[in-house]
Amino acid sequence: MTKVSLSDLQFEELCSTDFVRSRSRRIYDLALTGGTQFRVDLAKLPACAAFVRDLILKNYPDLKVPFHSRWEHFNVGGVDRVASLEKRLVGRSPRERAAALVDLVLVSVLLDAGAGPDWSYRARDGQSYTRSEGLAVASLEMFEGGLFSSDSKDPLRVDAHALRSLTVPAMSAAFQVSASNPMTGVEGRIGLMQKLGDCLEKRGEFFTRGTLSRPGHLVDWYAARLDEGKLPAQTLLRGLLWGLGDMWPERFVVKGCRLGDAWIYPQGASPEFSNIVAFHKLSQWLSYSMIYPLEAAGLAVSGVTQFTGLPEYRNGGLFTDMGVLVPRNASDIAKTHSPNENFLIEWRALTVCLLDEVADLIRKDLKLSSEELPLGKVLQGGTWLAGRETAARLRAGQPPYKIQSDGTVF
């Protein structure tokens, strides 16, 4: 475990997207001078941007691109499952409706660890889905069935008691796991849900109203922190970082808060503020996914363009596969890397910066501003899909590097 003593101002800075960008930029500048384990070939970047641009225009010819979030996964197969859920929420107040949507999306994102190549989920529409989309539909149908609620009269919610009562047989059955349909990490998912239940009760200022602790109560916490009638993007992110901190492994702790995606770079350096790099990848994806339910409660989010790109293996893999990022040591391709190693920290930091560069190139080509085509829409349109396509073509969908992860980073 790494503990760092910081001032209040330093801690707030650490829990911001400005920090993610500035620390990633340091590594990017270092890479351009040959000081990292990756070579950056900027001559390959225009072709990469053109590939992403063409995918955006193919999938969204009207350029009405949604934000990269969990909500797009729910409607896989052309079935508008979100609209069907919304119909079941008719009659609730905007705040109550938003709370239910937050309940769903938070649990769904946390259940979205890799399921393995042999698992699939047969949905109520009779179609089978795999990977992130399969996990999304499965979690939605679990939610609608009341698996995460301790009150059978109010199934469309997630509460601490139900999460802490989940069992491996119940979760396995809900995911349709069998000898012929194996899933990776069922026990890990149970452990994560139980940790969420503990966190909801422990962090009552974020999640508890009366005797009920649920993720959706975050809506009230946000509503009390508006700035000129809108919720700042940084407040959205910090609410997730501070409220959910107890869920993450105790590997990086600041002011009693566990930050699941902060690291010391270079590895082996003294744990001081100047050596911290953070990405907040999962929390930022949750932030993007929270925009829709918050808007359902009338809480518009300001400063969305401040969020960074998500440094995970689809986006990072795109730059590797397109030749923009090249390991200086070819042997690193065959090694298994941990998230705290310099190699992966550099790969992810360079990905953050290159996503900004690609987005700028695409906007310039399409003559759009950052407000008209924010980074969150470039990811959706976009870089994530492009990374999936190159991975499917080159490695049957696998990441370009072997990653040893506990499911809380990627």
Q: Could you tell me the residue ranges of all domains in the chain? A: 2-403
Instruction: Pull the structure tokens for residue 306.
Output: 């401040």
Among 194, 112, 132, residue whose Cα is nearest residue 159:
194
Instruction: Pull the structure tokens for residue 156.
Output: 């469309």
d(CA 261, CA 278): 6
Half-sphere exposure of 105 (CA within 13 A, CB side): 28
Identify whether the C-beta of residue 164 lies closer than 8 Å to the C-beta of residue 141.
Answer: no
Predicted confidence at residue 195, as pLDDT, reads 93
d(CA 299, CA 222): 8
The answer to whether the peptide bond before residue 266 is cis (omega within 30 degrees of 0) is yes
- Tell me the average pLDDT across 199-219: 96
Backbone angles phi, psi at 264, to 5 degrees: -100, 125
Q: Residue holding tokens 């966190």?
A: 199
Among 338, 347, 280, residue whose Cα is nearest residue 20:
280
Output the pTM of the full model.
0.93
Identify whether the C-beta of residue 122 lies closer than 8 Å to the C-beta of residue 110.
Answer: no
CA distances 67 to 14, 15, 168, 354, Å, are 24, 22, 33, 19
Looking at the chain, the whole-number percentage of residues with pLDDT higher than 70 is 99
Give 99-138 pLDDT, tens digit per residue: 999 999 999 999 987 788 899 999 999 999 998 899 999 9
Identify whether the C-beta of residue 120 lies closer than 8 Å to the C-beta of residue 128.
Answer: yes
Confidence of residue 235 (pLDDT cuts 50, 70, 90): very high
Predicted confidence at residue 124, as pLDDT, reads 95
d(CA 72, CA 32): 36
d(CA 396, CA 225): 46
Identify whether the C-beta of residue 127 lies closer than 8 Å to the C-beta of residue 77.
Answer: yes
Collect all residues with Cβ–Cβ distance below 8 Å to 312 and sequence separation of at least 6.
281, 348, 410
Task: Tell me the three state secondary structure of residue 38.
Answer: strand
Give 289-320 pLDDT, tens digit per residue: 999 999 988 999 999 999 999 999 999 999 99
Among 4, 409, 406, residue whose Cα is nearest residue 191:
406
**Residue predicted with more confidence, 251 or 120:** 120
Half-sphere exposure of 269 (CA within 13 A, CB side): 16
- Tell me the average pLDDT across 231-255: 93
Identify whether the C-beta of residue 240 lies closer than 8 Å to the C-beta of residue 283.
Answer: yes
d(CA 403, CA 390): 18
Collect all residues with Cβ–Cβ distance below 8 Å to 12 and sequence separation of at least 6.
238
Give me the DSSP letters along 117-186: TT--EE-TTS-EE-HHHHHHHHHHHHHHTTTT-S-TT--S---HHHHHT--HHHHHHHTT-BTTB--TTH
d(CA 194, CA 355): 35
> Is the pLDDT score of 265 beyond 90?
yes
Backbone angles phi, psi at 277, to 5 degrees: -125, 135
Confidence of residue 322 (pLDDT cuts 50, 70, 90): very high
> Is the pLDDT score of 337 beyond 90?
yes
The answer to whether the peptide bond before residue 382 is cis (omega within 30 degrees of 0) is yes
Instruction: Give strand pairing partners of 263.
Output: 277
- Tell me the average pLDDT across 54-66: 95
Rg from Cα positions in the chain: 21
Lowest-pLDDT range of 7-21, 87-101, 179-193? 179-193
Among 31, 35, 49, residue whose Cα is nearest residue 356:
49
Task: Give the mean pLDDT of the chain.
Answer: 94
